[in-house]
Structure 1
Amino acid sequence: MAIRFVLCPIGLALAFAAPAFAAPECLANGKSFKIGETACLTIAGESHLARCDMVLNNTSWTKVQDDCPGENQAPKLHPTSITVPTEPPEN
């Protein structure tokens, strides 16, 4: 019985310490990014490229570029819609 009282607190301590060993990740756009990975972040309507870093033992985004790669490309053209006449043409 005495062993149970000794092992129970040790087990609880290990159970609560387990999340501290999780790999650090940054979150953006609904996805997780590992340390060193980059993502295009949009803040206040402006986009920039940022890298996931560790700052004071916490994950943080560090700005790398003022714009995102591929953002300055020409806009993609949408296909032209085709209208179908409702009445057949007269000959």
Structure 2
Amino acid sequence: MKSPVGLRVLALSLAAIAMVAESAAASPPDRRCTCRNRDGTKYELGQIACIRVGGVSYMARCEMNLNVTTWKKVRDGCPTAHVNSSTVPAL
């Protein structure tokens, strides 16, 4: 049979490991982590941008995947604004 002291040390060790793992998982991402667009513009984690790759445009969010920042596609296309010249008042 195992000694009570050995079991107590094992239980305390496992509890300490669990607490360290929990605090590491709950820590917020580093504010220095950013994504970059092709033009060099920096975006913080959670920000959304229009990404253009190979003639295709889409909306993407700056996210963390493992220990690397990456763009995650949110939807196809990017918002655009069109001005109808007949509704613009003359100056």
Where on the TM-score scale, by shorter chain, does this alignment land: which range?
A: 0.5 to 0.7
Look up the match of 2:32.
Answer: 23
Look up the match of 2:53.
Answer: 43
Q: Which has the greater radius of gyration?
A: 1
1:69 Cα deviation (Å)?
A: 1.5
CA 45–56 in structure 1, closer or farther in 2 if over 3 Å, else same: same
Residue 75 (structure 2) pairs with residue 65 (structure 1) = yes
CA 76–43 in structure 1, closer or farther in 2 if over 3 Å, else same: farther
Q: How many residues align?
A: 55
Look up the match of 1:81.
Answer: none
- Identity among equivalent pairs (%): 36
* TM-score, length basis structure 1: 0.53
| Cα distance in structure 2, aligned partners of 1:54 and 1:76 | 41
Q: Deviations over 1:50-79 (max 9, x none)?
A: 000000111000000101122xx43676xx
* TM-score, length basis structure 2: 0.53
Question: One-letter code of the match for 1:59?
Answer: T
Unaligned runs of 5+ in 2: 1-29, 86-91
Residue 48 (structure 2) pairs with residue 74 (structure 1) = no
